[in-house]
Structure 1
Amino acid sequence: MTARLQYGTTAKVLHWLIVALLIMQYLIGWLMPDIHRGMKPGAGMTFHISVGMTILVLIVLRFAWRLTHPVAPESSLPPWQRLSSEVVHWMLYVLVLATTVTGWLFASYRGWSVALFYVMPMPMLASDNAAAGKAIDGLHQASEWALLVLIGIHVASAFAHIFVYRNRIMQRMLPE
């Protein structure tokens, strides 16, 4: 399989859709009320879980697309930038997966019954277990923060290529 030099339309659409949903997800997460023992998911939590599940599906699709439609690393970059770019991108996949799966596990351990956007019942990954739920919630929160830091590094690097290096690296992922 030959690697292309540019990202295709499918990769770009998946990338920017995931970006938009992650922004929405962080806003929902910060604006919804704290979760207390015995609470059932309200509209905010149901929407948060539904958006998270959508992100999970899209990141798996994006990952599969990346594996089957590789894009060659930019040859004009120094080796350290090519390597760090690959590491950051793979870490983004891992952290998005970890964040969404730990959120799903958290809802499962809480014993919640949730329907995706109030339409389709979601299978739960585990049964009601308060202690496990508390541990998973800690992992979910840690992965949220780690993902946010990594997104910040990713965005800062993109801006560095636009404003400092003044190269066309970002053109590979921008709409045409």
Structure 2
Amino acid sequence: MSDNNLYSKAAKTLHWLIAAVIFLEYFIGITLDATHLKWLHIQLGCFLLILVIVRIIWRITHQYPDFPLQITGINKLLAKIGHLILYFLMLAIPMTGLVLIITKGVTINIFGIDIPPLMKGMAKPERHIIKSVHWYLATMIFYFAVFHGLIAFMHEFLNKTPSLSRMLPECLAKYIRDSK
């Protein structure tokens, strides 16, 4: 496969780092009531927001590879829509988390910096709505990311279309290409 069909090392690194943080955040998030990891959840959420902004800037300023020739028409459209949904969720989830932090009305420590309350605490019913939106978006991205991965596997191994191998580190991509 030519280098024109591969994602850059920076794009691959951002992709896998963001994926890892999303899954870690999801599993920390579903255990928040049973664990004392809320501080870690907040730090990782802020880190995720920074990573996603960097990824969007990278995406806008760098050429991404074309779709493999085997992917045409409706599949291209579905892939583009799917990626837009993922980008929306990757931004919306940490943003709703930030809104939860801001509306609590207390000092929050982010990356070792104490941030004073930016507003008076919001009433519990309104915060509950924001928390529910945050939760539903997080659940959506979890299942959407799993589906995204399954589609990549399907294209790679059932349709013999180089989708997954284009985003993997070269040593793994080479192993997949050589095993076909």
Matches within 5 A, 1:12-161: 12-33=12-33, 43-71=36-64, 72-117=66-111, 119-122=112-115, 126-130=119-123, 131-161=125-155
Q: Distance in 1 between matches of 2:68 and 2:23?
A: 27
The alignment covers a number of residue pairs equal to 165
Q: Which residue of 2 aligns with 1:38?
A: none
Q: CA deviation at 1:100?
A: 0.7
Given the two structures, how large is their TM-score scaled by the length of structure 1? 0.85
Unaligned residue ranges in structure 2 (runs of 5+): 171-180
Contact kept, 8 Å, 1:109 with 1:132, in 2: the verdict is no
Contact kept, 8 Å, 1:104 with 1:124, in 2: the verdict is no
Q: CA deviation at 1:121?
A: 2.7
Q: Distance in 2 between matches of 1:13 and 1:123?
A: 34
- Cα RMSD, aligned residues only: 2.0
Given the two structures, how large is their TM-score scaled by the length of structure 2? 0.83
* Residue type of the alignment partner of 1:16: W
* Residue type of the alignment partner of 1:33: D
Q: Distance in 2 between matches of 1:123 and 1:65?
A: 32
Q: Which residue of 1 aligns with 2:8?
A: 8
Contact kept, 8 Å, 1:161 with 1:168, in 2: the verdict is yes
Q: Distance in 1 between matches of 2:146 and 2:47?
A: 22
Q: Which residue of 1 aligns with 2:160?
A: 166
Q: CA deviation at 1:45?
A: 0.9
Q: CA deviation at 1:10?
A: 0.6
* Residue type of the alignment partner of 1:51: L
Q: CA deviation at 1:152?
A: 2.2
Contact kept, 8 Å, 1:56 with 1:97, in 2: the verdict is yes
Contact kept, 8 Å, 2:105 with 2:118, in 1: the verdict is no
